[in-house]
Every structure is written in C-alpha cells, then in structure tokens.
Structure 1
Amino acid sequence: MPSSTQEPSMPSFHQILVPVDGSPPSEKALDEAIRLARLNGARLTLLHVVDEMGYVNGFESAVNYLNDIIPLMRVAGEKLLAHDRQKALDQGVQADSVLIDEGPGRICEHVAEQAALAKADLIVVGSHGRRGIGRLLLGSDAEQIVRHAPVPVLVVRAPAEAKP
C-alpha cells in the first residue's frame, strides 16, 4: 500500500502585490517579491500610495502647503515605481505599477482594494520591525495590511542597519 505521507508542496503564486515607498524595508520586500516571482513565474504589481495625510497630522498650517507638496509627491512616486519596475524587468519579472493619490483612506485600505483589483494571491510588504513605544507612536502599516488583506501577506523585516 502506498504511503500517504507526502511532502507538502510550496504554494504557487501568479500575481504578487508589492506596496513600495523607497525605504530600506520596502526595497528588501521588493527583492523578496522578485525572487518569489522568478521561482513561480508570477507577475508583480507595484503599488505606491501618495500619503498626503502623513504630512498634515494635526498641523493646520500644513494644509496650506498640500497644494505645493502633493504634485511633488506624485512625481516622486512615479519615479520610484519606474525604478522598481525596471529592477523587476531587469531580473526577468514582468511588473505593472499603480500610483494611488486619491486622497482620504488608510494605506492598508488602498492595499487591500488593489489586491482585489489586481487579483493578487500574495502581498509582500516590508516592515521596520519596530517594537514598544516606537510602534505604538508610529503605528505599523505592515500590521494593518495583514489585518485588512484579502490574501496572504509575507512580511519582510528590514535589514539590521535600516532599523531606527
């Protein structure tokens, strides 16, 4: 009688969503996503969210500068996406990019929505690995993405030299 103990197979991914912001944890996550995409023959969707509310945070005077800042944030986001997309293409991985600058909404909500739209079967996100008061004060986009994601999330920790 044949044995029923089979090695579990590694899940196969076809569409991987990678939120990027240019930080060391984001770059580490992109590298891991490219590696997984190459192993699985998957495509990447690179996502950058223009987080204009991150610049307001209770400072009324900052609202006055948003009209000047937001176009610069869009341009920076487009450059980041172009750079990261080229990095994937140079390693033989097909990649699309999406820039979201639609104003209100938390980053985790935009990521969850884009995962559904892109039909992603995995999200790969970088994390600073903050603990204690740093995490409490700054929050954790990665944790919120895990909580709201409609698909599995791989959290990639920042390299040791990138931690604050």
Structure 2
Amino acid sequence: MFKHILVPTDGSALSQSSVARAASYAKETQARITLIYAQPEAPSVYAGLGAVSGAHVTQEIQSRLDSGAKDILDAAQAIVAEAGASCERMVLTGTRPYELIIQAAEATGSDLIFMASHGRHGVGALLLGSETQKVLAYSKIPVLVYR
C-alpha cells in the first residue's frame, strides 16, 4: 500500500473533505501525510508606465498571502489531527499549481497524490482548466481523485 501521501489543499469545502478522507485512509494504512498549499506569487502593482509599489506594499501583500497559506494549512492540519493522524506541511509558491504539486510529491518521496476535483464541466473546465486534470496528465506518481 501507499506509505506517503501528498494532499494538496486550497481551503475550499471540497478540499477539506478530501483532507479528511485522506487522513482517514492514512490512519487506516499507517501512511504519512504531507499537506501542500500552492501559493500564488505576489502580484506587482503598476499605474501607467511606472510602478506605484514600494517595498512596504510588496511586503504587505506577501504577508497577507503567507497568512492565508498558514490559515489554510492550520485548518487542514486540524482535520488530520481530528482523524487521529499526523502530517507535515509545506507551501510552494508559483504560477502553476499543478507543477508545484508534482514537484512537492517528487521532493517528499510521496507515492500517492490524494486530491479533490472541483468538478468543473463544459466551457468552465475548458477555459479555466483543472489543476487536477493537469496533475493527472503530467504526474508519474499515482493520483487518487476525491469527489
């Protein structure tokens, strides 16, 4: 069976459900869990041709992003603890969450990615794409999709 499960979370209700199910599975199989939050990069603020952003504005944006990531991972870690399992956690920053998820799985030696599918269909899925679909397409590590 799987010994190390990577569980991406974005803080949504479906993602929290996925974390709970992954934690239950990990407890049953004595697997380790690593939670990951794929944090977006802090945007640059511009007005016209010149930047209106100073170092303090960039730091404030980054601080808020970091705080949000911590809150999301704290909530997920509480769900894991409630299920009687334990976990490690990590935040990776970038513009392509699916790549960050795959990188995290490889870096941690995870043998399963356990992630939620937000179930977008039709034009929404076509235009927005799905991080889960991209992980499925590019990962060499097995992916369990929870719905």
Which TM bucket (shorter chain)?
A: 0.7 to 0.9
TM-score w.r.t. the length of structure 1 is 0.76
Give the structure 2 partner of residue 162 of structure 1: none
Give the structure 2 partner of residue 140 of structure 1: 130
> Alignment RMSD, CA only?
2.2
Amino acid at match of 1:129: G
Higher CA-based Rg: 1
5+ unaligned residues in a row in structure 1: which ranges? 1-11, 158-164
1:111 positional shift: 0.7
TM-score w.r.t. the length of structure 2 is 0.84
CA distance in 2, matches of 1:130, 1:64: 37
CA distance in 1, matches of 2:39, 2:125: 21
Counterpart secondary structure, 2:116: strand
Alignment partner of 1:47 is 2:36: yes
Give the structure 2 partner of residue 90 of structure 1: 82
> Retained in 2: the 8 A contact 1:18–1:125?
yes
Hey, which bits of structure 1, 4+ residues long, moved more than 4 A? 63-66
Give the structure 2 partner of residue 9 of structure 1: none
CA distance in 1, matches of 2:62, 2:76: 21
Give the structure 1 partner of residue 120 of structure 2: 130
Give the structure 1 partner of residue 12 of structure 2: 23
Amino acid at match of 1:47: I
5+ unaligned residues in a row in structure 2: which ranges? none
| Structure with greater strand percent | 2
Alignment partner of 1:117 is 2:107: yes
Count of aligned positions? 140
Q: What is the percentage of aligned positions where both structures have the same residue?
A: 30
